[in-house]
Amino acid sequence: MKNRPIGIFDSGIGGLTVVKEVMRQLPSEDIIYFGDTARVPYGIKSNETVIRFSIENILFLLKSNVKLICVACNTVSSVALPVIKNHFKVPIVGVISPGAREAVYASQNKRIGVIGTRATIRSCAYENEIKGLEPAAVVKVQACPLFVPLVEEGWFEGGVVRSIAEAYLAPLKASRVDTVILGCTHYPLLKPVIKKVMGDNTVLIDSAKQVATEVKEILASEGLLNKQGRGKQKFYVSDNPEWFTSIAGRFLGKDVKNVNKATV
């Protein structure tokens, strides 16, 4: 049981920010990653479609006999996870709760910003989670639909990216938030430009660290932690493995090889 891999899936390539953190915190664990690159982005899809895609992705990972599944997609975590979590025996970890907990802990003035896809913002998942933890918190949300395609195209900086970030983040600055949740696993790649726009005193919450910690805690509690050897990673995508290979190294900080195309 301990030697079984951890399954991680995302709508595209952004979930590699979670993979990187799981690799750092759990270096002995094998990881199976699936990026649904044929159907990205999820953030503009209907709830019914996101739920269907999520079930298909989970069933694909279960073929590899994974011991835990990490949903490295904020859209899926906010829209589908509450519906599907109890339909599978394997533990399923999302990204909403860990990020919200860290934001409430980090915020000094309890004015918290959340940026994400339209579907994530529309779900009110972060607002509900934050309010459940800190009823007095003021939550300002902002959909940033262009951030995902910018990251997928490798546009992390420059005048165009800065202008888009300034337009999206202006309402959060006006609301005087001191903490911003990066409510999409693509967004950590834009941290430098977001930090420049929001200012050095704003805390940016990258939920990948909290998610990896939660994965570690669950595996430990279930007696499923693998502490021996060095873990291996296998990568699957639903389309264009060559493109995925070319950009994945920017997320993981190392070259990615042997990316396989898979059908869900």
What single-letter DSSP state applies at residue 145? Answer: T
Structure tokens at 84: 């599907």
Q: For residues 124 and 210, what is the distance between their CA atoms, to the nearest angstrom?
A: 20
144 carries an active-site annotation:
no
CA separation for the pair 179, 27 (Å, rounded) = 30
Q: How many angstroms separate the Cα of 89 from the Cα of each of 44, 58, 63, 161, 190?
A: 29, 11, 14, 42, 36
Q: Which of 70, 124, 144, 184 is catalytic?
A: 184
Assign 227 to helix, strand or coil.
coil
Contacts by residues 80-83 (CB-CB < 8 Å, ≥ 24 positions apart): 80/47, 80/50, 80/51, 80/54, 80/55, 81/54, 83/51
Label residues 146-175 b or e (16+ Cβ within 10 Å = b). ebbebbbeebeeeeebeebbeebbeebbee
Q: For residues 36 and 76, what is the distance between their CA atoms, to the nearest angstrom?
A: 12
Measured CA distances, 251 to 154, 190, 192, 261 (Å)? 10, 11, 14, 19
* Torsion from C-alpha of 104, 195, 147, 117, nearest 10 degrees: 10
Catalytic residue among 70, 73, 124, 144, which? 73
Gap between the Cα atoms of 163 and 126, Å rounded: 26
Rounded CA-CA distance 4/14 in Å is 24
Is 73 one of the catalytic residues? yes
| Residues identified as active-site | 73, 184
